[in-house]
Amino acid sequence: MTDIQGIQRRSSFRKGSRRFAFTTLLSILVATPLVAAPDGDWANYGRDAGGERHSPLTQITPGNVAHLKKLWTYHMRPPGVKAETFPGANPELMRRFSTGFAASEATPLVVKDIMYVSTPYHRVVALDAATGKERWFFELPGRDQPSTRGVAYWPGDKGAGPRIVFGTRSGLLIALDAATGKPAAGFGENGTVKLKTPEVMNGFPAPLGMSSPPAIYKDLIITGSRVQEMPVKGAAGDVRAWDARTGALVWTFHTVPRPGEVGYDTWEKGSTQARSGTNVWTMPQVDTARGIVYLPIGAPTLDRWGGDRKGLNLFANSVVAVDAKTGKYLWHFQTVHHDIWDLDLPVLNLIDLRRNGKVIPALVVMNKTAIMFVLNRVTGKPLIPVREVPVPTQSDVPMEQAWPTQPMPLSPPPLARTSFRMDEILDATPELSATCHKMAVDMDIAPSTLFQPLSRNHAVNTYPSSLGGVDWGGGAFDPATGLYIINVNALGAPSKLVQSDDGTWNTGYTYFVDSKTGIPCQKPPFGELVAVDVAKGKVAWRHPIGDNGNPALKDAGTLSAGGPITTASGLTFIGATRDSHIRAYDTRTGKLLWQDIMAGSNYGMPMTYRTPGGKQVLAVVSTGGFGFSPATSDELVAYALP
């Protein structure tokens, strides 16, 4: 769950057939490197199409980063405008968090000297990257909202100029002229394509929109979607590709297979019909050199009970590789079998892994358990061996048949907490101890182990929670050190299953935290920044990240959402924490080198670029508005050396 209205109860929105010919497979097994973006640009959400989130810029270094100063600030909220509620919002929470500001998880793009960013005020804007001065803005029709995590850039081709492309909360795909901000001529109807087609809506007036930017491959716009978590039937989570010039639909990949397609037999007979969820609510990633797109697919509906969908349930919780031109299935790797914990698959990065003097095309995959799988991105085979481990299967809920094993790599171990004992309740202060013990008694909390099925008789305190040990922020890879950097959380979610009128079982849940401070109720650490040597499958270092505000828990860290980036000078930048700080770390050691407090937390990613004058700039969207804190700002802040 990723939006403010989902903090204490569930949102009505949601978080996406043939094998490659052998000769074609052989032709792409060659270690072709990832295609690099121009050094000074940040043209994709993860900088490059594969989401490595690494910049080759070196002007800002470990030696001078402490001298960073604010260069300019852009206010995303237009004068006189206040934040508005939206369909599906929890009214109680919106009142509680009403500050006049709205939350954003956006990461800006910079191409040449122009910055592009979506705002939570019904706008997409273009700014002068050197000064922050507004060049143009586009206001969405009908007070619709652009995707909260940002926009995509299509460089143009065959007579069509560059375009800014993004989805909306209401289910539109919009293309703008990158130079003017006007609707792109020839794209759909006045620059707009309707994503709610009959083929995906299944005859239901169900929610469907986009919370993340699409992927771009040549002249294709590849979209995931945000659909429902309940009830079972609704819009399909299919992934689709659209012509970047005309908006015409080019291909569709069925994330819940149809009869005759690979994976159809992994579902109980009749259970695939109009099944919702199973969607890509983060970003597809693209190997542009090989023409492969990778789909990080989430959990199916219902995501806490699978009694009506016995089986492995492909392609839920799987990374699926498809031919980028046609959408045809190449291979898949499922990270969770028969998901009944809402574990999704938010983390996916393409990397070039160096091992024994060779460069191996790889990808890093994690579901919310923070279990790291490292795969060959051409074949889908694990580069670190994976075994099927027996897990708890006993369920007191009718019809449920938990899968008896789950995949587990030999290394590294899960990067975040995955279990809970009652003697691990927080006791740092008498007040916190009393609050947390009372919560455990009042909610009838039971201990938990990894992959333990939920119960109808007591609340299983599941770790990680739906926030995840890791979530959409994902990680960044530094190719020079071979280190993959990611922030992780320890946060429980006591959950008890209750039967609905339609016979299905679902859960409302809260988080195991002190409601006044947002401090988790188990012993620390609460939040950490972790570096993994990917080639070895070993944790290189891990340190608490953030200040939770309690002196008795000074080194415990705090919860985070959003992710890091790395640079070729050896720096890791990350916002993400509840304490509204932006920080720089030494990538090799994890040593904190610089920090600055902002007006709001950064719940997307920082990004860095070079201006035409040669200055390296760090840019951060700082709004707050996630977890247990309200939105407090509308700022987009740029930093540079004096």
The closest of 99, 105, 342, 335 to 212, measured between CA atoms, is 105
Question: Is there a contact between 228 and 207 (Cβ–Cβ < 8 Å)?
Answer: yes
Q: Which pair of tokens denotes residue 501? A: 């009128």
Question: Is there a contact between 415 and 374 (Cβ–Cβ < 8 Å)?
Answer: no
Q: Which pair of tokens denotes residue 337? A: 């079998």
What is the three-state SS of 512-535? CECCCCCCECECCCCEEEEEEECC
pLDDT tens, 501-528?
Answer: 999 999 987 899 999 999 999 999 999 9
Question: Is there a contact between 320 and 380 (Cβ–Cβ < 8 Å)?
Answer: no
User: Which pLDDT score is estimated for 84?
Assistant: 60
CA distances, 589 to each of 58, 173, 416 (Å): 18, 43, 20
Q: Which pair of tokens denotes residue 414? A: 């899960």
Q: Which pair of tokens denotes residue 18? A: 């043939």
Question: What is the C-alpha separation between 334 and 311, in angstroms, rounded?
Answer: 13
CA angle (281, 228, 442) in 5-degree steps: 105
Terminal Cα-to-Cα distance of the chain (whole angstroms): 40
Q: What are the φ and ψ backbone dihedral angles of 571, each rounded to 5 degrees?
A: -110, 145
User: Which pLDDT score is estimated for 14?
Assistant: 36
Q: CA torsion angle for 366, 241, 202, 230 (degrees, to 10)?
A: 20
Q: CA torsion angle for 128, 133, 136, 141 (degrees, to 10)?
A: 120
User: Which pLDDT score is estimated for 6?
Assistant: 28
Q: Is the dihedral of CA 308, 313, 315, 317 positive or negative?
A: positive
Question: Is there a contact between 117 and 84 (Cβ–Cβ < 8 Å)?
Answer: no
User: Which pLDDT score is estimated for 98?
Assistant: 61
**Which amino acid appears at position 496 of this protein?**
K
CA distances, 586 to each of 64, 567, 583, 592 (Å): 12, 10, 10, 7
User: Which pLDDT score is estimated for 158?
Assistant: 84
Question: What is the C-alpha separation between 97 and 631, in angstroms, rounded?
Answer: 7
Question: What is the C-alpha separation between 46 and 94, in angstroms, rounded?
Answer: 31
Query: What distance lies between CA 302 and its chain's CA centroid?
Result: 20
The closest of 262, 287, 367 to 319, measured between CA atoms, is 367
The closest of 573, 574, 548, 579 to 562, measured between CA atoms, is 574
pLDDT tens, 160-203?
Answer: 999 999 999 999 999 999 999 999 999 999 999 999 999 999 99
Please name the residue that has the structure tokens 């074949």.
379
Residues (pLDDT < 50) of the chain are 1-31, 86-89, 92-97
Question: What is the C-alpha separation between 490 and 464, in angstroms, rounded?
Answer: 6
Q: Is the dihedral of CA 345, 351, 354, 358 positive or negative?
A: positive
Question: Is there a contact between 274 and 200 (Cβ–Cβ < 8 Å)?
Answer: no
Question: What is the C-alpha separation between 427 and 312, in angstroms, rounded?
Answer: 40
CA distances, 368 to each of 339, 341, 347, 359, 386 (Å): 11, 10, 8, 28, 17
User: Which pLDDT score is estimated for 34?
Assistant: 56
User: Which pLDDT score is estimated for 27?
Assistant: 34
Query: What distance lies between CA 566 and its chain's CA centroid?
Result: 17
